[in-house]
Structure 1
């Protein structure tokens, strides 16, 4: 999962691009930039505000509080309008969303007051002095939902909004939170838009890479076959230390490749696969409005490189993809040292290299969700990073055993219901290209729990501002969600 407050996140993969990334997961924790690239004049970003929040909502004897960051946009607010609440996720809350996005189009039409609440332990919302494992015990989806409930209750009482209908919005992990907020606190939230929401927790998630294969094949049937050939070739080369010098040059590594453990090999192979995973997850979306780099790199571009015989054999083309991604993200070289990654991920300081979201989100995967995108399925194009490699990191980073992880994931599904959502007035938009749809709701549960499955679109695509070149299916999906909100707000 990867570093985006709005969208799940390619967690470790995006973390590798730390020169440009500040935090969805694998879920992608996102790459947020304040510069604008469209040449237009934008009004100043929303001013950050602070809410006094409880540290532990489930311990009445603990009176500890902290300051949680939030933003407000009252531009479209009408006295009889609803209240929209955008849920932050596994990265810093981006104030750009207070000026842009489909939810604001809905807000303008419906006269909504808009809030965005940053998730605890991400961005500037620091509930504890550090990110030690002892501190991270206060990081969970259940505590986050209680944050949302307390914020909603206090704001309603303070601002006279108790009689308004509140609607929750979120994409990726925050999409799951939006659904679960309506599920667990139906008296506080009237409806939810749960975009690209993985509602089913799962330790091993090989289906992610299966969708990557299908998405690549939708561009050219030969593309994932060439990726598989290249990946298999590299796995064989890694067995021979005499090839490490050439591999170092081919992939422009920051230091000579050293493979001393299975984790060293798996980390390198996962890093390279991440080039394709990230592009597929966000293919042809409109993240450029946030200033996100690399939105011009699409499935078509990557498959074009893999099909280009002038670049050499499939292995050479695979290396060319890696160099293209480094050039796109202005990276001088590629750091594939697992030991460096381990060192960064176990740094518990708020100014540490993984504090933008990496350490926090991996903790949540180890203690709640799993979501590990392994190569265990034969129906996907990569090799070399099995589930065991990923699960061992839970023990290395947080002393969480494989059994504790499995138990935690089972408890998550027991608590929320997984795919078996029992609620009302929740809509589940998903894109067919997005690998996360495999853990989401893609067919209607009931008429009051509809799915909007958008053919040919990627992760959270319906949340971004509309463009003239958007597929018809995407435009129709946005309209469909709006009509549902219109209908539900009359109920």
Structure 2
């Protein structure tokens, strides 16, 4: 029996479906912001063939609130560190610092081979700090206490996390007499957002940042709200128009079947759920999860970043859907296709909808406070049911579940976003925004060069922060070239920094 990820999509951030079904029916709401958090928080330990990386696990006592002088309890922040290749303070050995996202830090370390593989070349120290309220880095001593209510969750913010990173780096460098050693930031997805924002907010602490698949523009009205689901849909349309149309038609079929007297039982049997479906919403959300994750993990080689998947998994899904025998129903075709995601190994006897082993409440909280990413689905270009963004319903959900109101304009107030080109050109430097256009989050990232030092590296066939993953023998040439470009830019930052230090010393 498989204990697979819970697929019910709550209504935190953005997506309310305006149903194309009859007025008496309704379609579940989807929320793409959920995918950003959930994608990053699966606690798998590495990808297929990923080498074990050596590190020491340490803990640092962090202030719960960096922005007040209240007498609050500290918490232990976990971080992973490797110094075996570090050149040391006398030679200004660099520090490669990964900005931990919303999940267990060991999982990020296992899936960020780029940092480990290039650290020896630069004789760099490697540090992977864990984001507060995730993994073992729990305030108030436990997950249960930290997540008890809005009061205990109040310090789960991006600002506090960045301050954690800044304090940790400062104290470590002080303890190692390494104050002059340059720091380079790395991050993917939300971690990439943190890396970019940290470079902008703390330029005296880090000399540059590689922000991979970082949707820093996915807020307010900076990008069209239909961008995310359009990109997911395009991934399937690109492989097969008939596959795209089958998925698009399936929602109506699912809803119609669910209205029959024995419809939910039939759907339960068709999709092999361990327990009887309580609504068609649960099935539709389960399917929507899979399609969106497939778009993000549409890597050119086999990987088990989320689930064990073949290379180019969308191609395999569409092959299953399109090549079913004549007379196969739409629902059976959809099941065969989605099984590529949920059961590629063939080991699952049935599927659970009510299993959430990865604890997404942390990201749900962030989505109900700061990470408000408006998203919609277009009737003409999306394979998902059409709906418009409805902030009011999202606010209501957050009030009911957390007793808080979202602040949809806070992120752009704190970190910028509107007029980002001029702002970054004027006030920023040394940031790489890397994106693959297969990744649905690329639509909310920076896709063009802003200046000579704020550079966009865009690949047509790349998926979600593929460049940060370990190098493999199956890497296509364009991926090898992308990583080489990143290394060249980082080397330029370090050479320039060391040149300035030598000049200052000679004077």
TM-score per shorter chain, which class?
0.7 to 0.9
CA distance in 2, matches of 1:274, 1:26: 12
- Measured on the aligned residues, the alpha-carbon RMSD in Å equals 3.0
Say which of 368, 371, 388 aligns to 1:369.
371
State yes or no: 1:46 paired with 2:46: no
Structural mapping, 1:217-236, within 5 Å: 217-236=237-256
Q: Which has the larger radius of gyration?
A: 2
**Offset at 1:230?**
1.6
Partner of 1:328: 344
Instruction: Answer whether contact 1:11 1:28 (CA < 8 A) is retained.
Output: no
TM-aligned CA distance change 1:439 to 1:205, over 3 Å = same
Partner of 2:26: none
Instruction: Answer whether contact 1:12 1:358 (CA < 8 A) is retained.
Output: no
Partner of 1:479: 484
Say which of 270, 275, 279 aligns to 2:285.
270
State yes or no: 1:243 paired with 2:263: yes
TM-aligned CA distance change 1:182 to 1:12, over 3 Å = farther
SS at match of 1:228: helix
SS at match of 1:202: coil
Structural mapping, 1:131-170, within 5 Å: 131-132=147-148, 133-170=150-187
CA distance in 2, matches of 1:83, 1:97: 15
Instruction: Answer whether contact 1:10 1:24 (CA < 8 A) is retained.
Output: no
The superposition leaves residues 400-420 of structure 1 with CA deviations (integer Å, 9 ceiling, x where unpaired) of: 3xxx32xx1211112111261
TM-score by length of 2: 0.80
SS at match of 1:363: helix
**Offset at 1:43?**
5.7
CA distance in 2, matches of 1:236, 1:148: 51
Partner of 1:29: 40
Say which of 377, 398, 410 aligns to 1:394.
398
Instruction: Report the more deviating stretch, 326-335 or 266-275.
Output: 326-335
Partner of 1:347: none
Instruction: Answer whether contact 2:37 2:363 (CA < 8 A) is retained.
Output: no
Say which of 185, 189, 196 aligns to 1:172.
189
Partner of 1:380: 382
TM-score by length of 1: 0.83
Instruction: Answer whether contact 2:209 2:432 (CA < 8 A) is retained.
Output: yes
TM-aligned CA distance change 1:116 to 1:285, over 3 Å = farther
CA distance in 1, matches of 2:366, 2:260: 37
**Offset at 1:452?**
0.5
The superposition leaves residues 131-169 of structure 1 with CA deviations (integer Å, 9 ceiling, x where unpaired) of: 122211110100000001111111111111110110110
CA distance in 2, matches of 1:45, 1:472: 28
Partner of 2:416: 417
Partner of 1:213: 233
The superposition leaves residues 337-361 of structure 1 with CA deviations (integer Å, 9 ceiling, x where unpaired) of: xxx58xxxxxxxxxxx56x340000
Partner of 1:346: none
List runs of 5+ in structure 1 lacking aligned partners.
Answer: 1-8, 15-22, 260-264, 342-352
Partner of 2:503: none
Instruction: Answer whether contact 1:270 1:384 (CA < 8 A) is retained.
Output: no
TM-aligned CA distance change 1:12 to 1:47, over 3 Å = farther
Partner of 1:125: 137
SS at match of 2:335: helix
**Offset at 1:101?**
0.8
The superposition leaves residues 397-444 of structure 1 with CA deviations (integer Å, 9 ceiling, x where unpaired) of: 2123xxx32xx1211112111261441100000011000001111111
Partner of 2:331: 315
Greater relative contact order: 1 or 2 (C-alpha under 8 angstroms, separation 6 or more)? 2
Structural mapping, 1:52-201, within 5 Å: 52-79=61-88, 80=91, 81-94=93-106, 97=109, 101-128=113-140, 129-132=145-148, 133-201=150-218
